[in-house]
Chains A and B, each alone.
Chain A
Amino acid sequence: MLRERPSRLTAPALIAVVLWAWFLGPRIRYIFAAVLIVGTVAAFMTNGRYALRRIVGVVPILIAVSFVVFSLMAVLPGDPAINILGPSATPDAVEQVRTELGLDEPFFNRYGDWLGDLVMGDLGTSVQRRQPVAEGIGQSITPSLQLMVYSVILASLLAFPLGVYAAYKQGRRPDRVINTVMLGFFAVPNFVIAVNLVLFFAIGGLSVFGTRLGLKVLPGAGYVEFGENPVEHFKRMLLPSLSLALGQSAVFMRLLRSDMIGTLRLPFIDLARSKGLSTNRILWHHALRPSMFTLLTVMGFSIGALIGGALITEVIFTLPGIGSFMFESISRRDYISVQGGTLVIATLYVMILVMVDFLYLALDPRLRTTGGGLGGGNG
C-alpha cells in the first residue's frame, strides 16, 4: 500500500513531527532533523534502492567539499598564527601557536586530523571567539533556518498562483504583465529590495510634496526568538523573508509557467477537459503535479542556497544567523570558524538536495517501483 501512495504515511508523520516540535518549544533544528529522518525512512520504505543510491551518492560530494574547503583555507596566504597573535608577536610565540594548531605538520596529515575530528562532531575551537566552532554555529543556525522556511513559504504563495495563472493565459495580456513584473523582481538584487522594504514599511517612506508615501508599521531590524514573543518574532522576520522571497518567486514562477505550458499541450488535459472537469480542477489537480519536476529541483537549490547565502540579508536586518556568523568570522580572519561554517553550510545544502530527490518519490509514481529510477521515464 505504501508503495502506491507513500504520502499516506509520510504526510501525517511530517505534520505530527512539526506539531510536536511546535508545542514542545519550537526548536527548528529539531524539526529539521526530524524531517530529515522521516523523509529518509519514508524513502527507504518506498524504494530502498533509489534511496540508498541517493544517499551513497552524497558521500563523494561531501568528501570533495571538505577537501575543497580545507585546501582553500590552507593555500590562502597569511599565517593564521600571526592573525591570531597580531603582527607584533615574537617568532617564538608564533612558533608555539603554530605547533598548538598543528600547522607545521604536512598537509595531508592535517587534513586527515581535521576530517577525523569532523566525524566526531568537532569543528575545532575558534581562538578569536574563545568558543568551539560547533557551538557558535549551533547558536546561529536557528534564525537562518527560520528565515529559509519563511521565505520559501512566501515565495511559493506568490509563485504558484501566478505561475499557474500565467500558463493558463499564456501569451495573452495577464501572462505578459505577470512575466514582466516578475522579471523586474528577478533583476533587483536582494539588498536593494531589503533597503526599499525598510524604506516603505519600517521608517515611513518617502516624502513627496508633503505627503508621506509609506508606512511605519514593522521593525526594520533585530531578532526576537519565537518562544519569547511569537507575534513580535513574525513581525521582525517578515521584511527579511519578503526581501528574499520576491526574487525567488520570480524564478519559481517562470519555471512553473514554462513547464505548465508544456503540460497543458498534452493529450490527457484534453481528455480531462472533455470529461467536463472544471478549469480550476484541471489546472491544480491534473496539470500541476507533472509540471513541478524542474521547479522542485530548483526550489531545492534555492532553499539550500539560502543557508549562508542570505548573508547580506542577515547583515542588513541584524539577524544573528549563520550568515552574520560567517561575515563576522571572515572579517576577523577567523580561519577555523570559516572552515567549519562553510562545511556545515555545504552539508546542509547537500542534505536538502537529497530530501528533494526523495520528494520525487511522492510526486512521480514511476519512481516507486524498484529500479524505476534507472530509466527515469521515457519522456
Chain B
Amino acid sequence: MVSPVGSGSPPGMTAQLAVSGVEMAEAAELAQLEADPEKGGIPGARRRKKLGPLFWAAVTYLTLLTLAAIFAPVLPLKDYAKTFKGTSKDGPTLTYWLGNDGAGHDIFSRIIYGAQVSLIVAFVGAIFALLIGGSIGLAAGYYRRTVDTIVTAVLDATLVIPPLLLALSLILFLDPDAQRRVFILILVFVVLSIAPIARVVRASTLVWSEREFVMAAKTMGARDGRIMLREVLPNVAPALVSYALIVMANLIVVEGAVSFLGLSVPPPTPTWGDMINKGRTDLDVAAHIVLFPALAMFFTVLSLNYVGDRLQERFEARESVL
C-alpha cells in the first residue's frame, strides 16, 4: 500500500461531505489504516518517531494554561473587572505584566480568566460531542445499510451549513438575552462537532469491522453491542482521542469568532475574542491590547493541533502523512 492517499478513492470520497480540510485528511488517513504496526507494513515506516521537544512544550503550555484557568480565583491575580486609574493603554510593566487595555484593565488576569471560558466551553463541548458523535458513528459504521444511509444523509445536511452561521443563529435564537450563555454555547458546540466526529468514527469503524477478529467474535456469537464496545471501539479510540484535540482547537477558534462578534459570555466576564475586538480601536497606538490575547489564542490552538497531529501520527504508525 504505497499508493498516494488520494488515488485509491477519488470519486467516492467527494460524494460525502466534510467540514474542513483537516478533517478530510483525517478521514482519508483513517480510511487507510494499516494493519497492526507490529506486523508487516513498510519496514521504514515502523520506526516510531520520538514526540520531540516541541510536543512537550505544547503539552506544558496547555497544562499551565489549564491549571491557571482552574485555579484563577485563588491565584494572586488582579481583579479582571477593576479599572486601574491612569494605566489606560500602558505597555507591559512589572505590576501589570502584559500591560493594560483601553479601560485600564489588567490584560494578564483577563487572559487567564478568558481562558476559563474558552477551555471550559471547548472541553465540555468536545467531550459530549465525542460521546454522542462517537456512538452515532460507531452504529452507522457497524450496521451499515439503512442506518448508515440515514445517518450519513443527516450528517451531510448539517455539514453543508457553515459552522459559524449555525452557531450564531442557534445562540441568538435560543438565548436572545444572554441569560444562560455558557450552557447554550456548550450545547451549540456539541451540535457543531457531532457531525465531524461521527464521520471520522464511521469511516474508521467501516475499516475495522471488516477485520478477522470482528468476524471471529461474530461467529462466537457475541452480541452487536459487545463487538462494538470491546472489539471495534478500542481500535478506533486512539485516533479518535487525538482527533478530539483538533476538534477542541476548532471550537476555541469558533468561540473566539463568536466572542469577537460580542455574542459569547456577556461582560464583565472577559473573553479572548472580545478583548481582541475592543482593542481594535487602539490598534495603531497600543497594539499589545490586541496582540496578547491573540497570542494566547494562537498558542492554544497551535498546541492543540500540534499535540493532536503528533499523537495521530504515532497511533497510525505512518510516517508519510504529516
Please provide the chain A residues from 160 to 196 with a CB less than 8 Å away from any CB of chain B in the complex.
Answer: 179, 183-184, 186-192, 195-196
A291-B301 contact, Cβ under 8 Å, with A64-B153, A357-B11: no
Contacts of B285 in A (CB 8 A): 207
Q: Does B294 contact A (CB under 8 A)?
A: yes
A304-B276 contact, Cβ under 8 Å, with A68-B154, A255-B25, A309-B165: no
Chain A interface size range: 35 or more
Contacts of A91 in B (CB 8 A): none
Contacts of B8 in A (CB 8 A): 376-379
Q: Does B92 contact A (CB under 8 A)?
A: no
Q: How far is the CA of A330 from the CA of B297 in the complex (A)?
A: 26
Q: Judge whether A293 and B7 touch: CB under 8 Å.
A: yes
Contacts of B220 in A (CB 8 A): none
Q: How far is the CA of A68 from the CA of B7 in the complex (A)?
A: 33
Partner of B160, one of A265, A349, A379: A349
Please provide the chain B residues from 286 to 308 with a CB less than 8 Å away from any CB of chain A in the complex.
Answer: 287, 290, 294, 297-298, 301-302, 305-306
Which of A258, A297, A333, A357 has the most C-beta atoms of chain B within 10 angstroms of its own C-beta? A297
A195-B290 contact, Cβ under 8 Å, with A298-B24, A301-B17: yes
**A interface SS class:** helix
> A61-B17, A258-B5, A304-B160 known; 19 other A-B pairs, CB under 8 Å?
A64-B156, A65-B161, A68-B161, A72-B170, A76-B170, A183-B305, A266-B3, A292-B6, A295-B6, A296-B6, A298-B25, A302-B20, A302-B21, A311-B165, A356-B14, A357-B14, A360-B10, A377-B7, A379-B8
Give the 8 A-B CB pairs with smallest separation, nearest first.
A293-B6, A379-B8, A251-B21, A262-B4, A187-B302, A64-B157, A309-B162, A294-B6
A195-B156 contact, Cβ under 8 Å, with A259-B4, A262-B3, A353-B14: no
B285 nearest CB across to chain A (Å): 8
B26 nearest CB across to chain A (Å): 11
Q: Judge whether A191 and B153 touch: CB under 8 Å.
A: no
Partner of A326, one of B6, B165, B249: B165
Q: How far is the CA of A379 from the CA of B5 in the complex (A)?
A: 9
Binary flags per residue of B153-195, CB closer than 8 Å to A gives 1, else 0: 1101110111111001110111010000000000000000000
Q: How far is the CA of A254 from the CA of B321 in the complex (A)?
A: 9
Q: Does B226 contact A (CB under 8 A)?
A: no
Q: Judge whether A68 and B158 touch: CB under 8 Å.
A: yes
Supply 21 A–B pairs (Cβ within 8 Å), ascending by A. Answer: A57-B15, A65-B161, A67-B157, A78-B173, A191-B256, A191-B257, A199-B287, A255-B21, A259-B4, A261-B320, A262-B4, A290-B6, A290-B7, A294-B25, A294-B28, A297-B14, A297-B24, A301-B20, A311-B165, A327-B261, A342-B169
Binary flags per residue of B241-284, CB closer than 8 Å to A gives 1, else 0: 00000000100010011001100000000000100100010011
Partner of B10, one of A188, A262, A293: A293
Contacts of B172 in A (CB 8 A): 330-331, 333
Measured CB to CB, the nearest residue on chain A to B158 is A68
Contacts of A145 in B (CB 8 A): none
Contacts of A69 in B (CB 8 A): 161
Q: How far is the CA of A57 from the CA of B15 in the complex (A)?
A: 8
Number of inter-chain CB pairs below 8 Å: 225
A33 nearest CB across to chain B (Å): 19
**B interface SS class:** helix
Q: Which residues of A approach B to under 8 Å, CB–CB?
A: 50, 54, 57, 60-61, 64-65, 67-69, 72-73, 76-78, 179, 183-184, 186-192, 195-196, 198-199, 203-207, 248, 251-252, 254-255, 257-263, 265-266, 290-298, 300-302, 304-305, 307-309, 311-312, 315, 326-327, 330-331, 333, 338, 342, 345-346, 349-350, 353, 356-357, 360, 363-364, 367, 373, 376-379
Q: Judge whether B287 and A379 touch: CB under 8 Å.
A: no
Which of B160, B161, B298 has the most C-beta atoms of chain A within 10 angstroms of its own C-beta? B160
Q: Judge whether B160 and A346 touch: CB under 8 Å.
A: yes
